[in-house]
Structures are given as structure tokens and as C-alpha cells.
Amino acid sequence: MTDDDLLLAALSGKQGGTLVDQLDAALTVAWRLSSGLNVPVPTSGGAPGPYRAGGSSWDLAYDQVCARWGSAPKARTLSQKAELLTALVAGIDQSRGTVTPAPPPAAGSSWRPLPVLTSRAAAGETSSFQSSVPSWTADGMVVSLLAKGDRDGAPNPTKGGATQRCEVHLAGWENLTGTLFLRWDFSLGKGFPTGTRDWQMIAQCKNSSTGSPPLELGVGNGVIYLVWHSASGSETGREVFGPATTGTKHSVIVQVPFTTGPNAKVTGWFNGRQVFSANHGPTAYPGQSVYSKIGLYRSNAIGVPATVTHHGVAKGPTLASVT
């Protein structure tokens, strides 16, 4: 039987057992069918409990739902389980009955919409720590971090370290050379700490070894900015793209000559217009390659939950190739 058949059987009372057993069976299948969909669910704000080996199928489904949305759904009572099942089934039905259009261009921009970012764009993450895992939705890759620390079940957790991280490497961006135009489309969720004075990065042009990257796309002090680093890790300069508003799709483009030499002028565009052209030093380090990753990487001291949606990315040899 397919998952659709299993869900129909559970909803029709054909799975056997008590009413609670029927609901648990339906929730388990609905979880699988709704994987990757951005389905809003009623939550209690509580934390998920530990998964108990040998527990019921609902124990597993419950913890998986918690891992996806970050807080416990209201599903301890019979009526709450029914409410959660209704939300999941409605989300599945809506995803199949409508075609989600690509996100519109940013305000004031004539740039073409980019294809929605999917998990196929991710080449994996090889860094030591992850504080969460991304969700892949109809809008792109969604990264949500807690106010502090790691989500339960996160791979390679920081375990109370000084940073929070949830990033993926981009397939096809593993070795950036020559002069390239790079575009990132993203939006900052409600409550995102745009005013922080601490460091908070949503994209990196990262050197192949440890240490600070040559270029990072950051959010702080109310703006979206690009920051340069030297091979020793010190900041050598930064330029502002524009205000960091929440709930708005932003499009950022940089023209970068990847070089270890001194002549490395970088040009930036924000929501359809050029906003800077600056040289703050080399954009690559001697003896190292440069690759790109996106997500959210920040100081654990910020202490405010944050969500960023990466809608799409583009890379090409000319401005026209990414707009």
C-alpha cells in the first residue's frame, strides 16, 4: 500500500485498534507525506521530550514534528491530536491542489525570479557543528535557530559553545575562481535580530581551511552588509547593501574577482540597483580554494531566535547571467 492508501485507511477507521490508535497511525503517515512542506501547525511552545526506544509510532512522529517546527505541537489530548492531523492533511492537500509560483522579484527590481532552492542544491556540510537542520519548503531552504544553543537531535551539536550554526554547502559552488557574479535571494523572518551588534552571517565565500572567510554576507546594526577578512582573520573592511527589513524578500549580487592579489574590487547590487564598488583586499587566501555555503551562522550570545529563508541562488560570468 502507498502512503496515500495508508492515510486513507487510517482516516476511514480501517487500521484497527482504538480511536487513539487510528489517530496515531494517521499522524505517522501524514508526517511522511508532509515532509518538506511548510505546513503551519498549532504549537504549545513546549520542548519535545526524548524519544523512547520501543515506544509507539506516535512517540516517534511526535518527536519528528517537534524537530521540524522547534516546539511541541498541541497533541497530547485526543482533540489536540485530531487538530494536528487536520493541519497536516490540509497542508498536504493544498500542496497538491495548487501550484506555488516562484517568489516575486524584490521591490524596485526588474531581475528575474530565481528557481526555488531545493535540497538538490545542497552539497552537504562538513563543518564540525550544527545547531539545527534546514527545512526544504515551497519557498526554499528555511533555517531556524533557537535563542541559544542547539535543537534537540541536531547533528554534531555545539554543546553550549560560543556559536550557533546551520549551513549547507552549495553544489557547483565548491571551487570559486576567476571573476564571478553571485546572487543570493533571501528573507528574514519576523523577530529576526537585525539590530544586533554581534556577528551574524547568512552566506559565506569560505576558504578551504579553518579561520574567518575572505567574504561574508552579514546582518546586524539594522543593515545587510558584506565583510572582508585577511588570511590572519582580521576584518579589513565592510560595505552596506541596505536596510535589513524583516518579512521582505531581498536580492543581493556581488561581482567578485577571486584573487590573492591586491587588486580585488568587489561590486555589490541590492534589490535591483548598484550600491557599492570597493577594494578591501584579497578575496582568496594563498594556497587555499574558495567555496560558498549559506544558512545562518552567528554568535550564541545574541540570545534571540532567528529564522531566515534562502529562496534561491545563482552564479555566472556576467551580470545578465544572474539577473
- For residue 201, give the nearest of 236, 238, 230, 172 by alpha carbon: 238
Three-class DSSP category at 87: helix
pLDDT score recorded for residue 30:
75
Q: In angstroms, rounded to a whole number, what is the distance separating the alpha carbons of residues 181 and 198?
A: 28
Each residue's pLDDT expressed in tens, for the chain with a length of 323 residues: 676 777 767 666 666 666 666 667 777 777 677 665 656 655 554 444 333 333 344 444 444 444 444 444 445 566 666 666 777 777 776 666 543 344 444 555 678 899 999 888 877 666 667 899 898 999 999 999 999 999 888 888 888 789 999 999 999 999 999 999 999 999 999 999 999 999 999 999 999 999 999 999 999 999 999 999 999 999 999 999 999 999 999 999 999 999 999 889 999 999 999 999 999 999 999 999 999 999 999 999 999 999 999 999 999 999 999 99
- Span 119-316 CATH architecture: Sandwich (2.60)
pLDDT score recorded for residue 79:
62
pLDDT score recorded for residue 40:
60
> Which helix (DSSP H) or strand (DSSP E) does residue 298 occupy?
strand 290-299
Segments of the chain assigned to CATH 2.60.120.200: 119-316
Largest Cα–Cα separation, the chain:
72
Q: Are 54 and 60 in contact (CB under 8 A)?
A: no
Q: Are 274 and 203 in contact (CB under 8 A)?
A: no
**Angle between helical axes of 78-97 and 19-33 (0-180°, round to 10):** 30
Q: In angstroms, rounded to a whole number, what is the distance separating the alpha carbons of residues 30 and 41?
A: 13
pLDDT score recorded for residue 27:
72
pLDDT score recorded for residue 209:
93
- For residue 112, give the nearest of 226, 247, 251 by alpha carbon: 251
For the question of whether the overall pTM of this predicted structure is more than 0.85, the answer is: no
Q: What share of the chain is helix, strand, coil (3-state, %, to 5)?
A: 20, 35, 45
Q: In angstroms, rounded to a whole number, what is the distance separating the alpha carbons of residues 56 and 119?
A: 30
- DSSP track, 227-268: EEE-TTS-EEEEEEEEE--BSSEEEEEEEEEE-SSS---EEE
Phi first, then psi: give them for residue 268, nearest 5 degrees.
-125, 140
